[in-house]
Structure 1
Amino acid sequence: MNASAELLIDTASGPAHVTTPAPRATWWELAAQDPDICVTQTPTWLDCLCATGSYRDASRLYAFPDGSRIVLPLVGRVRRPRRLDAQESWPAGWGIGGPVTPEGVGHEQARAIFDDLERLPALRVGVRFRPQGAELWQRAAPGTFRLEPHMTQAVDLDGGFDAVWRDRFHTRARRDVKRAEKAHLDVEVDRTGRLVPVFQELYEQSIERWAAQQHEPPVLARWRRRREFPTGRLAEVADRFGASCALWVAWNAGEPAASIVVLRHGPHAKFWRAAMNRDVAHPVRATPLLYRLAIEEACEQGCRIFDLGESAPGSSLEHFKAGFGAAGRPSPRYWRERLPVSSVERGLRTAVKRAIRFRDA
């Protein structure tokens, strides 16, 4: 781990201390006190990111004059000059980052954090905020930061599983679950990483299916998906999260049909990944059964939220998740760049999609 550096920044209420990387003991202390903490705002998540990608810990601890403290999870790129660095919370595909704020956050503090990020020499700085407090961060964001809308869907587990099943699951989801139960599928839940190879096999099959749906050459699809989710990443996450990483697998007549990965920290359970052999899983509705069992377990473990992750508004994925009672909430990303790198990257991706007649799922 890098040695921490300390500096002072000016705020409207006086000088604040910044320590980077944030001391782990303090980060865990604040995470334990934050009632809205997400799995992806923990040091363990940052460690998984750094262990499976070219990233380094760039987290920041802010100590304000009134005694309040805020940790901002953040990573930078390894082996990049400071002015070509990208410091983000988090990079694309890693979900919600944003500040850990056990005592809440005021407008002055939020603006001070944005001002501090603006002063960083990095080429790009981006922060994906959790839904709680999103409006405050929007009011505090300076004009140099651009808004990138995102939506995350989550199931409110208040009242326990009976209430969730009765009042929040849609009729179609309950029907699919009952159909799966009649099919007498075998379901395993692994908290040791033993079933990681089974998930990886199903994930490879999913890549082929996604490629066909999106009119994408299989070679390109495999390269892109493995770059986004490289072999070894799930094993690393399972190892670091231990019993807090549940890998669910449904078997149909001895053949793996579907699998989902669910992570947990405190009151927050997070669906992370899914894969299936559609020909085996869909006729017996294996995936809805796994969602139902994972949500039930989260209720039994005392979780308040079951986070089903990001969805595009109006998409089939949003519709599917809504069947389990997941409501959409804004989870904005704010970012700034010193050069228009992202615009160039988007232009290149668009050109490639047009060339191959790519269809967004």
Structure 2
Amino acid sequence: MQRLPRSKLSGTSFEIGEELGRLSKPILKKYLSHPVYSRQANAWKKTYPIPELMTAAAQSFPDCWEELRGLSTGCGIDLDDVYIWNCKPDFAKTQHDSSTSFAVNRLANRFIVQEIWEDPCLRPYCHLVDVRPIKRPGFLALYTPGMLPGNSFSTSRAGLVQSVNLLDIPAVSKGVPSSIISRSVLGCGSLLEAIDLLMSAPRIGGAHHILAWSGEFVMLSIEATGFKVTVVPVSNKYAHTNHTVHNEQKNPSQAQNLLSRRRYAEVLEELELLPDYPTEADVLAWLRKRPGIAAPVSLEAAAEKLNPSMTVFLRCVSSKITVQIFSSGQSEPEKFSFSVVK
């Protein structure tokens, strides 16, 4: 598997969106015209009030909306189709966007790890984007073609570290896509601001966020759905996949993601084998031994792989954030680090 290309983007929200659109133009047009996806998108247009949802997103998050408009222009795809694509994580079952996150929060040893199963059709076109918006904190994030960055792993130069797991729950007909909310968090100037945004934003679907902030000893697990938002402090070793695990979120009407529950049970067992106070070396040694646990669902079943397409290791200390990206087939990770801008 090739290493993630790295792209540096800057400018206004619209200009950044245009660059994102240009990065994904070839594959996105092909993917959105695929008969399987086209049928699904047409079904969503009949099920959800798309014009009203687009208006709500534009009013609630104008900067992100400008980025989405720019993305539409850059890739030459109608805005409503780009918007629906960004709703896919909420409208579709999350087997298409599987991930496992685990975290360690022990004072000097504060890590967040995310294993990601990207659709094999899209994985070769993913980028690591280094974004410098005007008058906003810059950030580093995974960019899946056509999807606003921030909906997976990300870290901002203001000090935020964020890992997002999409939740396999029913979507509602009012609110804002998880992709826009996760992107907006990257513009926050403090942990409190990020928490408040996640607690108050009306949401179509569901996502789980692990948040940490440079210089803060607090690490949080936030499960946010169209019905409820709950917050649990992360202490020592913690794990999450693509279903709700907070006690307050348990609901028998939720979709049952069996692959997610299997991954969750297995990673909890593995975490027990780590030392009670794991170091960076302990976690990295564990990661290098881990096999894939479950395969993703793809438009091309023959392209499915048993191993995660990438594993990301994020370390957050008082003034520095370090990112290591392990890709399938690569013996050594890509490494990035930057100082936090106060």
| Interval of TM-score (by shorter of Structure 1 and Structure 2) | under 0.3
Structure number with greater Rg is: 1
TM superposition score normalised by structure 1: 0.25
TM superposition score normalised by structure 2: 0.26
